[in-house]
Amino acid sequence: MTGAGARAAAHDGPRASWLAAGAVAAVAALPLVYVLVRAAGAGADTWSGLLDRRIPDLLANTIGLALAVCAGTLLIGTSLAWLVVRTDLPGRRALGVLCALPLAIPPYVGAVAYADVLGPRGALRDLLGVESLPSIFGFFGATLVLVVFTYPYVFLLASAALHNLNPSYEEAARALGRGWVRTLAGTTARLIVPALAGGTLLVGLYVLSDFGAVSLMRFDTFTTVIYAELGGRFDPPGAAALSSVLVVLTLLLLASGLAVRGRGRYEQTGAGFARSSTRELGRGRWAAFAFVAAVLGLALVLPLARLVTWTLDSAAGGSLGDYAGWTWNSLSVSFLAATVATVCALPVAVVMARSRARGGIVVGWLAQAGYALPGVIVALALVAISTRWFDPLYGTLGLLVAAFVIRFLPQAIQAEEAGLQQIGRNLTEAARALGASRASAFRRVVLPLLGPSLAASWAVVFLTAAKELPATLVLRPLGFDTLPVRVWTPARDGLYADAGPAALLLVLISLVPLALLLIRRRGAALSL
């Protein structure tokens, strides 16, 4: 290192956190590097075979699904947010909480309920008394399930933005002679574009990475095909090639989403919680209420009612499952993943928040490679890497936890970096002027102030890890069944009722960290 470089490093952050952050980033980026290198090394035959037959269809399916789901969630999430935050909708406070709750229902759990109720021999057919319904399986079913269970991302970010919007802008538009509809469309909507872009981006990333819901809705996307490759004759270069296309797709989405969000980010003057104008809906109130109730019916009542009736049936029939053991497995693996991710994210967040150097940005991006890595791809890469170089690791709990950490590290980093940004550099400097070493200033000042952010980071990783399906299916140790595994395995074979109790338990577990996050700050911790 040159003199100037050493000086910069000494100033931009403790060297220990640079080393730790570098190590974390290297591990986090490993699957990404593996997939890209392996795909580049795949022969021309492999590529041309894939390009001729599979890739065009998969691209059409995957992109079409992502676009449809993004459009649907944008429409539903934004209109719910506006109704709940800015109108005199009856019961708006309670409805606002309820609208976020579908986040506790993993889409594949929703898919189980939908496949049963709306399926060929389902309750809806009996209710209507018809011979057969149009098939729920395929593009339509996958879109429906994903929209219904991912709109809360858009809803949460949009309602936070509407809530924090300085009402002076809207009042200025009204004072300048704009009607309320034009104000809403022209001023309000423009001001919350960054939030809408952020929420839609989360939805899009989720759709690209989803495996459970699309597989249960029997709709082929990249993830289902890559998973099938892993299960059947394992052809590493071919699987890596398919994965690399999905990774590139994800990166493109990420880049465009961040660009839209960044371009539309306006400087807001003042905070707006003091007063926000409420639109009186008049007779439309009850129509609006009916709309919200319909969404909640689809997203909460229908799936939960089905899960509860299944659970009651199975309890009456003397259920045979080891539910306590599966719940324990789910809790313990999520606990480990949340704890390790929260700790690993810390040095990365420190380097990102405190460093003005380019190195900090690079380390930050690499450590957040998980955003571009769907669970199946992390699983694929870790299987390949461990069987080739670290064989004793394969089939251990450690490898599964590593997959979760790599996959969910970005969420932990975001939560912690946001927390660090709130802690002024002055506070650390004040501590040092009072005789505290760099490490002791961090321990005595930064860590205590970071507490709430660390808790949020832990909760968000726990929540997502508890729901994770594809990496668990591939990497779990022999006989290590978690609740997601026990939902998906029977449901894949059409035995939907058998999935009920595990699915209900999973929803109940997810509610706890979700409630913590929602209470804390209107979903800010879930933002990108």
Partner 1 sequence: MSVSLQGVRRSFGLTRAVEGVDLTVHPGELFAVLGPSGCGKTTLLRLIAGFERPDAGTVEVAGQEMAGPGVFVPPERRRIGMVFQDYALFPHLTVERNVAFGLARRERAQAKASLELVGLQHKAGRYPHELSGGERQRVALARALAPGPAVVLLDEPFSSLDASLRAELRREVELILREAGTTTLLVTHDQEEALSLADRLAVMRDGRLVQVGPPEEVYARPADRWAAQFVGEVNLIRGMARGQAVQTEIGTFDVAGDPPAGTVHLAVRPEQLAIRLDDPGNAEVVEREFRGHDVLYRLMHENGRMVLVQLPSVELFEVGQRVFVRPAPSAVAPVVG
End-to-end CA distance of the chain: 34
3-state secondary structure 196-259: HHHHHHHHHHHHHHCCHHHHHCCCCCHHHHHHHHHHCCCCHHHHHHHHHHHHHHHHHHHHHHHH
Residue 231 or 448 with smaller CB distance to partner 1: 448
Minimum CB distance to partner 1, residue 419 (Å): 13
Nearest residue (CB) to partner 1, 400 versus 450: 450
C-alpha span between 231 and 198 (Å, rounded)? 34
Among 45, 322, 429, 493, binds partner 1 (CB under 8 A): 429
Q: In the bound complex, what is the minimum distance in angstroms from residue 235's beta carbon to partner 1?
A: 52
Nearer to partner 1, 132 or 426 (CB): 426
Q: Among 431, 454, 460, 507, which residue interacts with partner 1 (rule: CB under 8 A)? A: 431
Q: Is 7 in the site for partner 1 (CB under 8 A)?
A: yes
Q: What is the spatial distance between Cα 107 and Cα 515, in angstroms, rounded to a whole number? A: 18
In terms of CB distance, is 309 or 440 closer to partner 1?
440
- How near is the Cβ of 433 to partner 1 at its closest, in Å? 4
Count the neighbouring beta carbons within 10 Å of the beta carbon of residue 96: 22
Q: Which stretch binds partner 1 (CB under 8 A): 136-144, 208-216, 397-405, 433-441?
A: 433-441
- Which residue stretch of 86-94, 112-120, 137-145, 436-444 sits at the interface with partner 1 (rule: CB under 8 A)? 436-444
Contact call for residue 433 and partner 1 (CB under 8 A)? yes
Question: Binding to partner 1 by residue 424, rule CB under 8 A?
Answer: yes
Binding positions for partner 1, 449-468, rule CB under 8 A: 449
In this structure, are residues 406 and 376 in contact, taking their beta carbons and an 8 Å threshold?
no
**Contact stretch for partner 1 (CB under 8 A) within 250-258, 366-374, 423-431, 478-486:** 423-431
Verify binding: residue 269, partner 1, rule CB under 8 A: no
Is 116 in a helix, a strand, or coil?
helix
SS (H, E, C) 279-329: ECCCCHHHHHHHHHHHHHHHHHHHHHHHHHHHHHHHHHCCCCCCHHHHHHH
Nearest CB to partner 1, comparing residues 11 and 388: 11
Sign of the CA dihedral running 206, 230, 111, 412: negative
CB 137 within 8 A of CB 217: yes
Task: Decide if residue 444 touches partner 1 (CB under 8 A).
Answer: yes
How many Cβ atoms from other residues are within 10 Å of residue 319's Cβ? 14
The minimum distance between CB 422 and partner 1, in angstroms, equals 10
Q: What is the DSSP string of 425-470?
A: HHHHHHHHHTT--HHHHIIIIIHHHHHHHHHHHHHHHHHHHHH--H
One-letter identity of residue 372? A
Instruction: For partner 1, give the closer residue by CB, 252 or 434.
Output: 434
CB 66 within 8 A of CB 374: no
Q: How many residues in total does the chain contain?
A: 528
Q: Which of 217, 169, 166 is nearest to 61 (CA)?
A: 217
CA distance 136 to 145: 10
Asked if 185 touches partner 1 (CB under 8 A), the answer is no
Q: Is 427 in the site for partner 1 (CB under 8 A)?
A: yes
Looking at residue 477, the DSSP 8-state letter turns out to be P
Output 6 or 290, the one with its CB closest to partner 1. Answer: 6
Q: Which span sits near partner 1 by CB under 8 A: 28-36, 170-178, 379-387, 419-427?
A: 419-427
List Cα–Cα distances, 43 to 48, 58, 404, in angstroms: 9, 20, 31
Question: Which stretch in 140-148, 153-161, 428-436, 479-487 sits in contact with partner 1 by CB under 8 A?
Answer: 428-436
- DSSP helix, strand, coil percent of the chain (3-state; round to 5): 80, 0, 20
* One of 71, 393, 436, 516 touching partner 1 (CB under 8 A): 436
Q: Which of 445, 459, 509, 514 binds partner 1 (CB under 8 A)?
A: 445
Toward partner 1, which CB reaches closer, 233 or 425? 425
Stretch that binds partner 1, among 140-148, 391-399, 427-435, 483-491 (CB under 8 A): 427-435
CB of 484 to partner 1, least distance (A): 38
| Backbone region of residue 523 per phi and psi (left: phi > 0; alpha: psi in -120 to 50; beta: other values) | left
| Contact between 421 and 413 (Cβ < 8 Å) | no
Q: Which of 19, 40, 259, 434 binds partner 1 (CB under 8 A)?
A: 434
Contact status: 15 vs partner 1 (CB under 8 A): no
What is the phi/psi pair of residue 402, to 5°? Answer: -60, -40
Say what angle helices 284-296 and 92-100 make with each other, to 10 degrees: 30
Choice between 279 and 432, CB closer to partner 1:
432
Q: Residue 432, interface with partner 1 (CB under 8 A)?
A: yes
Closest contact distance (angstroms) between CB of 216 and partner 1 is 47
Shortest approach of partner 1 to residue 440 CB, angstroms?
Answer: 8
Q: Residue 279's beta-bridge partner residues?
A: 87
Is the CB of 40 or the CB of 439 nearer to partner 1? 439
The CA-CA-CA angle for residues 78, 81, 84, to 5°, reads 150
Task: Give the binding range for partner 1 (CB under 8 A) out of 24-32, 126-134, 173-181, 438-446.
Answer: 438-446
Buried b (16+ CB within 10 A) or exposed e, 114-142: bbbbbbeebeebeeeeeeeeeebbeeebb
Q: Rounded to whole angstroms, what are the CA distances from 266 to 165, 190, 418?
A: 11, 9, 18
Q: Provide, rounded to whole angstroms, the least separation between the CB of residue 438 and partner 1.
A: 8
The count of residues interacting with partner 1 (CB under 8 A) is 19
Name the token pair of 325: 């053991």
Q: Which of 41, 437, 493, 494 binds partner 1 (CB under 8 A)?
A: 437
Q: Tell the smallest beta-carbon distance from residue 209 to partner 1 (Å).
A: 38
- Which residue number, 17 or 327, has a Cβ lying nearer to partner 1? 17
Tell whether residue 265 is a contact of partner 1 (CB under 8 A). no
What residue ranges bind partner 1 (CB under 8 A)? Answer: 7, 11, 424, 426-427, 429-438, 444-445, 448-449
